[in-house]
Amino acid sequence: MPLPPSTFRFTRVGVVALLALSATCVFLAPWMMPDDYSWLSNVISESAAQGVEGAWVARLGFLLFGSAVLWLALSLRSSWARGAYWMHIAFGVFMISTAAFSHRPWQNDVPFDAFEDFLHSVTATAMGFAFSFGVLARTFQRKSDEALKRSLDVLAIIAAIFLPLLGGLEPAYAGLAQRSMFAIAYLWYGSEAWV
């Protein structure tokens, strides 16, 4: 059963507020890092890395993002296709897990837990797949008059596939590629909340 309009208005504003707070954390995190951190080349997860002063800012960003998506998915359960619902639930859970399991630091002299770094890689990779398949499921569910939303779906899927590849091929721009991918994901989830 769909949420009553007044409840969904609260959800819509709450989800968009959490997304905005998360984006703010991700944006501010590089300024909390040591001088050798570059937002162009270092990925967001490195600003949330183990043993790094100020890493809590990016971790909070991950936690807020995952919470926003879980809230959105739960509130749209009756209107989203089952596959979309479960993929976005998975995305939210994996995003929160990515906050819990931190990346190894980019600095060589900082000790880290290799198993935690491995878990971070697993959850971050699973999160990317969940996002791509969840957006794809929503694309197939869209009505023919939702061309703008379908265009955003296609952009999000292309970004989720090609921006990580670009970051891998051009490490000097890995941070920029990941931040662009996050910006598109924020936009996609914000547009889903603001139906």
Question: Residue 47 is part of which domain span?
Answer: 5-193
Per-residue pLDDT of the chain (195 residues; tens, 9 = 90+): 555 656 778 999 999 999 999 999 999 999 999 999 999 999 999 999 999 999 999 999 999 999 999 999 999 999 999 999 999 999 999 999 999 999 999 998 889 999 999 999 999 999 999 999 999 999 999 998 899 999 999 999 999 999 999 999 999 999 999 999 999 999 999 999 987
Amino acid (1-letter code) at residue 185: A
Contact 44, 28 (CB under 8 A): no
- Amino acid occupying residue 69: V
Q: Which amino acid is at 158?
A: I
Q: What is the pTM of this model?
A: 0.94
CATH assignment at residue 171: 1.20.1070
For the chain, percent helix, then strand, then coil, each to nearest 5? 75, 0, 25
Task: State the total domains in the chain.
Answer: 1
Q: Which backbone phi and psi does 79 adopt, to 5 degrees?
A: -110, -20
Q: Is 194 exposed, middle or buried (0-12, 13-18, 19+ CB in 10 A)?
A: exposed
